[in-house]
Each structure stands twice: as structure tokens, then as C-alpha cells.
Structure 1
């Protein structure tokens, strides 16, 4: 039986040495040679009648090496299992840790490996403190949402000129200087905007304009902060960068549109909320408000999960076998990496590994399970979301079931869904045990927090 020893090299980094005596490998070597002699096919000899000396001469060394390495691997894996060692990746052979093998030199052989041990992960989620935000839904927010729903369900017309803030403009942004001269290789981008997206002061420059007209604008003067964010991003520019916000563009109008809003009546209410039998404007406003509240409630829960994520990473101070992990990263890919490349990649890799250990432990601690029905339900929810909720589940039950069955055969969908559901269940379980403080907040302030903490 092989002799296996273990010694510490550094923090969570051990050396394991497997030593084989002649008795450990010789019998297996001879059996393998005899098996080879029965199956080998050599011209001039009948199968199974090849002299043992010839077999040994032709195949002995490769069979010998194979047998020794097989014994080493089995002994190493048995040791790791018996000792119940939790390791990262797989053992790495140490430099000069693999001796030259010679079938004519039946001696003791020693092989040395390096292992990286996983740290013990203990998490007390009761110590985490988070803020549960409750967004105040105002009457203005309800009116804005009703306006958006009217535009979305309205009929598009094409008037000749711009007459008000509800006009829709198909435009082309072409980078210029202050005088409207176009530089070489300037930015050029098409977009579609409502007139009311521009600042109130700038809108007067658009009144009376028609397709084919143009106007020169400076981004920071033509748009307020919220719209400026969107425009800068769409143009590939950066918010907060003075040079970008101060750029000039020629706004070429390619089409003028106007949405004719539908009346706020029962037919419209049925279009927006089919099957809800909403009869009055007050009932409709109440339904809209409830939907906005549900949206922000879900967003607030996601924000709690975000707080939990960051606190878990900040408070988890366990160590890692850095040297082992760097060496493993260097040699594990298809192409070996340089030391400099590893130094650049390692901090991000280590942070991801840290979160993997934390989430795995929390999954065990909270007995998280993902069942086939969970994945099937997700498939149906995604279909409903994709169709914008405009489908009667009862009337189309078989079609929806068939879709879910197809998705359950998709390996990538299954893997992605499993991870997504397990993560959601884990965060939900942790959120029930952390210390929560409820705080009322405006939609604007909440949006700023989402932007700041997004991961």
C-alpha cells in the first residue's frame, strides 16, 4: 500500500507526497503486460502468441509508466477522500516532484503535489443590518404612468410641423462645432425623441420645424440631467465629463410624428388591464398605483439583496491560498499565462471565488433546493413577460405547457435557470433573518441609490 504524507507549505497550502514501493506497482505492471500480450496485434505473430520478451521490449515502458501513475493518482484521491480535505481545483504536481520512471529500475518512487485548501466559511446573517426602502408613490407618478400608457396605446399620426411637447421627432445627431461645422470622424447617431425631453427653454427652437429642418444644440443646455444621461449614453459619451456634456450637435429632423391619445374610458381600461372589469377612472388610477407600488416593492427587495451581497463580501475575512491559486490560474487554461497577467486578473478572480464560497455555504445553511417545477414556472413566467402579459393563460394552457416542456430540454436554459432560482431563494432566505429598518423614500432618491449600488 502506498505511503502518503502531508506537510504544510503556507496558509491553506499543503504538500502531499505519494511514495510507491515495488510491491505497490509491480504486480499490476505484470498483469497489464499479460493483458497487452493477449490483445496486441503484431505482424508475423498470431494474436495471443507473441513472446513476453517482445511485448516487454515494445510496450513495457509505456505500460510501466501508465501503471505507476495510475497507482499514484488512486492513492492521492483516496487520501483526499479519507482525510475529507476540501480543496480548490485539483492537486498540482510540484516542480521536480515527478521522478523519471524506468521499468528496469524497480525502486521506490515518490511524487509530490501541491494542494490549496478551502477556508472554513462561517456566516452569521443575523448580524447583517439593511434598510428596507418604501417608495412613496405620488399622484404625479400615477398621472405620468397613465400618460405613458396612453402614448403606448395611441395612434401615430404625421403632422407637417412641430406644434407642442407631445410631438415625436425622428432625428439624427451629427457632431459639429459651435458654428455648425462638422469635424472629420465626428459622432453621428439616429434617435427618436419626444419634444418634452428637451429643456423648456430649448423647445421653442423646435416649434414650427418640419422634416428636413435642422438646429444646432449644445447637449448640456438642450437636456436636463435625467434626459442628458440617456442622450450621452446613446451617443457613446460620458456623464460628468465636461468636454462631452459641452459638445455641439446638429439635430437633423427626419420625421415629425404625433400620438393621438385614446380616451380614458372602459375600452382603454380593458386594453391596459384585460379581464379586470375596471369601469371608472378612479378604479383605473387605483390599479395603476398598485402596479407602480408592486414594481417598487420588487425593486426595494432587490436593493435589500444588493445590500446583503456587499455586506457579506465586506464582512467575510477568511484567507485564501493565494500562491497556489495564482499558480493554478497560470497553468490551468489552454494557454499558460504570464506572472504579470495573473497579477492583473487575480483580485477580480479572488473576489468572485470569495462570493462563490459564501453563496455555496449559505445555500447549505438554508437548505436551498431547486425543483423541476420551479424551473417550469420560470419558463412560463418568461413567456408571459415576453408577450407583455397579453395572453389568457387558461385559454392557452396547452400551448404554454408545450413551450415549458421545450425549454426544459434546453441544457443552457436549465443551467441558467437553476443558478438564477437558487440565488434568488438564497437571498430571500437570508433577507428573512437579517436586521431590517424600514425607511420611506422618494422615487428619485431611490433611483439614485439603485444607480450607486448596482452590481
Structure 2
């Protein structure tokens, strides 16, 4: 067997594979002999079928199968040994009238080669790295929510503007019949607030659904209908009052602090606000980091210029899926995937040049951290190391989970690298301003 490469240009090459009869004959003969031993053909005893008949019936299929195996194994080995960085897979250039009866068989494969380029992490224009701070209003609002959440309900005889009212919404035509509790201070429509004010248990009021609440999502849960239906609903519903309560806020005392953070971990309102600020900004950091990762990705794609073997990739896209694509479909798919392919090449080069690797031990520690944060969401704040170890072992026995966690850990390594070496401009903003600037 002889394999040679013809370089067409920097991004395209053709590999030629010459296979002689000696390369495949022994394997083909062995398989055909095995077929002969097992063949059951009427008129012949088992194992006594003439080899000529076996070759006539199976010879071509066996030959094609064995030659294709030789091609696959040796082509992959050649690409590895020659350190050819190919995009997609080699595409065969086999003519339609290929003659499998020749003793010597010649094959050609088109290759699309990865381009040579440099990545500059210090981009010309700085990328904004948002540092989201919890402002006074956000902290005060959170304290107020905590006080309401842990406060006590006091029964009332009449509806006031800050009360919680339990009742049933009804509209037979829209198939609405739902018992719920609403907070009057979350009702937006002035007519609705005025209609509820002063009402007593047993009273029924008629309310318009359009613009009923300050937050649109509240309507679907209040009426017990889907969000899509609620968004387009413009009708009237009756609301029959069954219970009226005032939620008196919990005092900012040690009992409340201990419920929230454990005994004596927080001892004053100031410490409570400091803790809320710290915890909130940790959560904001995840959003800020994701925004930074997205923005640097976009900047690197824009700033790192290189050509791709576009025509080869379009041909490869045409034939690589379950169904053959038309020229137009392949062009469209290439345009959709080109940006992602460019970043894969850029990211791969960054990982290689900075020797970023995911080791098993650090992946297991990363998994433990992820598990610990998940457990904390369900109130399990201090799991034992043995418990974390056992769960991590189970998680890492699942290859899909290992792949997902490895990708997350590599993203974190890239993010750390960008924070260290990229051209960043830190900007402090409130959460509301971050949302406006980042996603407007």
C-alpha cells in the first residue's frame, strides 16, 4: 500500500491511496473460506460448496468490505502520523465507473485543512467586564421580602391596600374557576384596587383581566390558566372573597437572623444587609461572567481573521448528514455553522497554546462543588465529605455527565485565562443597569 499527499493550496489537499492485491488477498480468501465452511446451498453438502460458487455469490461484497476497512484504518493512521489537522472528514473522489476487478486499486480523498492563524487575547478594543453591585434599594427590598416571608398573618374584616386576599376567580365562558391568594399591592389597575378596597368576606367584585397586575406573569397563576392564554386574555372575571389577612413583617431580631443563617452567624440588621449584599453579588457574578465569556467570544471571532476551506466544507456538509442536501441547503447550513466553527478553531488554539487541561482529580472536585451548591438550594447547607464523595463517584460513572462537567470546567478555565490576559475594562453597575446595558 502506498499513500501520498498532493497539496492543492494552504487549505486543500488530495490524499492518494494505492492498494495492491497483496494488501487484501489473504483476508478476502480467509473470509471466503469461512463462508464456504458454513454455507448451506441446496445440492451441496455443508462445507463442500465449490469455491467458485462462493466467490461468485460473495466475492465482490467481501472484497469491497475488506478494502474499505483497509482504507479507513490506514488513512486515519496516515493523517495522525503526518499530523494533518483536517476539518470534517476526508471525502472520497471515487469515479462512478470504478473497476473493482482490477488487482491494483487507486483511491483519492479530498481533505479540508485547518488554517494557520494567531490569536491575540489582548484585543485592540477593550471588552467591558461588568461588576454588578447590590445597591441600597435592592438590599432594602430584599430585607422587606424576608420580613414579609417570615412575618405572621393577622385576620382582617375589610380589604386594605397592603392586604392578602384569598378568593375564587370565575369566568364560565373562559373555563376559569380558581381559588388563589392575591396581594393587593401587586394589583396594577386603579379600578381594581378601588373595587377591592373595603370589601368583606363573602363579597364579590368584577375585575378586568387586562392590565390587572403589575407583573404580567401573575395573571396566569391567579386565574389558573396557561401563560399564553393569559397574555391574550381581555375579559372580566368575578372574584369572591373568602379570607382577608394582613401580613405583619417579622421584626429584625436574633430569632429571624438565626432562622436565616444559623445560630449567631448574623447578629444585627447591618450584618444581615452585609450578608444579603455579599450573597447577591456572588449570584450576579455568574451572570456577569457569562456575559464576559459571550462578549470575548464575539470579539475574538471578529478580530481573528483566517480563511476556511469553504467549498470543501460545503461538500462535506452535503453528504455527512442522514440525508443528502442540495447545494442551496448545504450553503445555508455552512453559513449557519461558520461562526461556531471559527470559534471552535480559535478556542482549540487558545487551549493548546496555554496548555489548558482537565485532570480527573480537579474534575471530581469541580463535581463536588456543583453537587454542594445543588444541595444548598434544598436547604442542605453542610453535607459531609463522605456524602459528597459518594455522589460524585456516581455522577462521574455517567459519561454524559462527565462530558458536561468537563465542558463547564474548561469554560471556567478559559474565563480565568481571559480575566488574566484579555484587554478588559471593569465597569461597576447596579443589577437593573446591567440588564439594560447587557441585554437591551
Taking structure 1 as the reference length, what is the TM-score of the superposition? 0.77
* Distance in 2 (alpha carbons) for counterparts of 1:230 and 1:451: 23
From 137, 148, 152, give the equivalent of 1:151.
148
Determine the structure 1 residue equivalent to 2:13.
Answer: 14
Matched, 1:369 2:330: no
The answer to whether 1:207 aligns with 2:197 is yes
CA distance in 2, matches of 1:251, 1:30: 84
State the shift of 1:84 in Å. 1.9
Residue 123 of structure 1 deviates from its aligned partner by 0.9
Change (3 A) 1:188 1:392: closer
Q: Which residue of 1 is the match for residue 223 of structure 2?
A: none
Asked if 1:308 is matched to 2:296, the reply is yes
Q: Tell me the distance in 2 between the aligned counterparts of 1:313 and 1:188.
A: 54
Unaligned 5+ runs, structure 2: 221-225
- Tell me the residue number matched to 1:119: 115
SS in 1 for 2:86: coil
**What corresponds to 1:320 in structure 2?**
308
Q: CA 1:398–1:276 in structure 2 vs 1: closer, same or farther (change >3 Å)?
A: farther
The one of 208, 212, 216 equivalent to 2:208 is 216
Tell me the residue number matched to 1:241.
Answer: none
2:106 corresponds to which of 106, 110, 117: 110
Which of 317, 337, 344 in structure 2 is aligned with 1:349?
A: 337
TM-score, with structure 2 as normaliser: 0.79
Aligned positions of 1:55-454 closer than 5 A: 55-94=54-93, 96=95, 99-102=98-101, 106-127=102-123, 129-155=126-152, 162-165=159-162, 167=164, 194-199=183-188, 201=190, 203-208=193-198, 213-216=205-208, 218-219=210-211, 227=215, 235-236=227-228, 248-250=234-236, 253=239, 259-275=247-263, 277-373=265-361, 374-388=363-377, 390-393=379-382, 396-452=384-440
What's the C-alpha RMSD, in Å, of the aligned pairs? 4.0
Give, in whole Å, the separation in 1 of the partners of 2:366 and 2:74: 46
Distance 1:403-1:68 versus aligned 2 partners, 3 A rule: closer
Closer, same or farther: CA 163–419 of 1 in aligned 2, 3 Å: same
Give the CA deviation at 1:278: 1.7
**CA separation of 1:205/1:115 partners in 2, compared to 1, >3 Å: closer, same or farther?**
farther
1:113 Cα offset (Å) = 2.1
Residue aligned with 2:88, SS = coil
Shift of 1:115: 2.1
Report the alpha carbon displacement of residue 34 of structure 1 after superposing the two structures with TM.
Answer: 5.4
Q: Structure 1 residues 25, 191: CA separation in 2 closer, same or farther (over 3 Å shift)?
A: farther
Aligned length: 427
